[in-house]
Amino acid sequence: DGGITQSPKYLFRKEGQNVTLSCEQNLNHDAMYWYRQDPGQGLRLIYYSQIVNDFQKGDIAEGYSVSREKKESFPLTVTSAQKNPTAFYLCASSTGTDNSPLHFGNGTRLTVT
Amino acid sequence: AQSVTQPDIHITVSEGASLELRCNYSYGATPYLFWYVQSPGQGLQLLLKYFSGDTLVQGIKGFEAEFKRSQSSFNLRKPSVHWSDAAEYFCAVGTGYSTLTFGKGTMLLVSP
């Protein structure tokens, strides 16, 4: 079955360390996204990519970085510059047209202490 | 800028009772509207979507939503709620460039 795989499901890091969250999709979708979810805040867009080797900042890109070297993969790095990195991170993909719904992975819960 | 408001943070409904979750949007052009559901610790699942045409759209799991342009609303409804419907529900508006703006969510609790 096609879908989006996020790994790991839980991730723990010490403050000051960079950490990379994995996102892989086999839906043959052109567009991929990273959202951050905090309790009571809904989902906020971090970065998105509509095509390989290109990506754009979302609403809260500071302290994060991404790459899109392959169509199937869109890893997110949470850097030490992100002031409050503990959150639930959701990766999504879509065909990339304006009315296309997002398909979501099951998320990675990152805890930084 | 576009925005989505879900006025109710929590709603409790008795099992078997009807449900309506409210969603209001702000967007200058014709909106693309979506409802998603999220179980704890999971990703989001699409319930239904509205692009154009019939303003009453049917979705999965017995849900429906009605688009009312005059009220800038896209409320989600279900005639009879089941305990398995307990989850968090998100309304979203498509804002071009294939991105979505989400509301803050409504947590649905189902009482016996």
Instruction: Report the amino acid identity of residue B50.
Output: Y
Structure tokens at A7: 């790994």
Instruction: Give B64's pLDDT tier (boundaries 50, 70, 90).
Output: very high
Task: Name the residue among A44, A96, A101 with its Cβ closest to that of B34.
Answer: A101
| B64, containing H or E segment | strand B64-68
Instruction: Report the amino acid identity of residue A92.
Output: A
Query: Is residue A105 classed exposed, middle or buried when 0-12, 13-18 and 19+ CB atoms within 10 A define those classes?
Result: buried
Structure tokens at A91: 């990766």
Instruction: Give B92's pLDDT tier (boundaries 50, 70, 90).
Output: very high
Instruction: Give B1's pLDDT tier (boundaries 50, 70, 90).
Output: confident
Which residues on chain B are in Cβ contact (under 8 Å) with A103?
A: 46
- Whether chain B has a CB inside 8 Å of the CB on A105: the answer is yes
Which residue of A11, A36, A43 is the best one to mutate when testing the B interface, meaning the one whose CB has the most B CBs within 10 A? A43
pLDDT digits (tens, 9 = 90+) for B11-37: 999 999 999 999 999 987 778 999 999
Q: How confident is the model at residue B79, as a pLDDT? A: 97
Task: Note whether B98 contacts A109, CB cutoff 8 Å.
Answer: no
Q: How confident is the model at residue B108, as a pLDDT? A: 97
User: How big is chain A, counted in residues?
Assistant: 113
Q: How confident is the model at residue B54, as a pLDDT? A: 86
Distance CA A91, CA A76 (A): 9
Q: How confident is the model at residue A50, as a pLDDT? A: 93
The 3-state DSSP class for residue B83 equals helix
pLDDT digits (tens, 9 = 90+) for A55-101: 999 999 999 999 999 999 999 999 998 999 999 999 999 998 877 88
Distance CA A85, CA B89 (A): 24
